[in-house]
Amino acid sequence: MTKKVINFNISAADDDLIHKIVLRCEEAGTTKLEDRLTLEMDMAACHASICKLDLRAMLEWRGSMFDLTHDVLGIHNLLDRETGGFETGNPFRHHWWPRFAVVGRCHDGH
């Protein structure tokens, strides 16, 4: 397993969008207050290092909260902090990808 330095470098505008997305999930009851900073850091790491997320679409999403929560908690639960990618050791998780990933803007060719 190759260890990778995780990049957290995102714009102030993207940081603000991520903060608002996490607050929205919190207000909907799908995340907890004590998770906020960790969730924001995980989403920033994903956005900067793994795949660009359509943050505006995430914030403005009016469909089921399940879709939004799928990405926020999926990123949090599957981010491998050793490799800087998504955890692939579990065969059920091997093909997981954020629904709000911007196609063609991912660091692994997605």
**pLDDT tens track for 50-86:** 889 999 999 999 988 888 998 998 898 888 877 777 7
Q: Is residue 109's pLDDT more than 80?
A: no
Tokens linked to 44: 């920033």
Domain boundaries, the chain: 12-106
Q: Are 94 and 88 in contact (CB under 8 A)?
A: yes
User: How many C-beta atoms surround the C-beta of residue 18 within 10 A?
Assistant: 24
Quick one: angle between helices 65-78 and 36-45, nearest 10? 80
pLDDT recorded at residue 79: 86
